[in-house]
């Protein structure tokens, strides 16, 4: 990787953008509707996993496990969907 010269660094620091015509101001309504990208597209979201102990009814666990491997992931998806719809 090349080092930035002092001359180039001075150019970068002195750069001033004065033409904002391609970036119009957003209204308060538009700003209120904005969401972080991980909420628009869950593929961008990498959550931190946390281990917890939880007591669930046996029939609920059996139902989750009946679909095969990955029941904890299914449980997390169900809970996330409920969380997102409760807002």
Q: Between these two residues, 20 and 43, which has the higher pLDDT value?
A: 20
Q: Is residue 4 part of a domain?
A: no
Q: Is residue 67 part of a domain?
A: yes
Residue 75: partners with Cβ closer than 8 Å, 6 or more residues away: 64
Quick check: 74 and 64 in contact, CB under 8 A? Answer: yes
Find the domain containing 85 and state its range: 49-87
User: 24: which 2 tokens?
Assistant: 């119009």
Query: What total of structural domains would you count in the chain?
Result: 1
Q: Between these two residues, 38 and 27, which has the higher pLDDT value?
A: 27
Average pLDDT over the chain reads 86
Quick check: 31 and 24 in contact, CB under 8 A? Answer: no
Residue 65: partners with Cβ closer than 8 Å, 6 or more residues away: 71
Top-ranked range on mean pLDDT: pick from 34-38, 47-51, 53-57: 53-57
Q: Is residue 8 part of a domain?
A: no
What stretches of 24-70 show up as alpha helix (H) in DSSP? 28-33, 37-40, 58-66
Reply yes or no on whether the pLDDT at 1 is more than 80: no
């Amino acid at each position: 990787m090349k080092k930035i010269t002092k001359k180039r660094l001075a150019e970068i620091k002195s750069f001033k953008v004065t033409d904002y015509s391609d970036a119009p101001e957003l209204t308060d309504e538009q700003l209120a509707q904005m969401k972080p990208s991980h909420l628009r597209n869950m593929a961008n979201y990498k959550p931190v996993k946390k281990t917890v102990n939880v007591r669930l009814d046996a029939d609920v666990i059996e139902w989750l496990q009946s679909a095969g491997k990955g029941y904890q992931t299914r449980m997390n998806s169900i809970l996330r969907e409920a969380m997102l719809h409760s807002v």
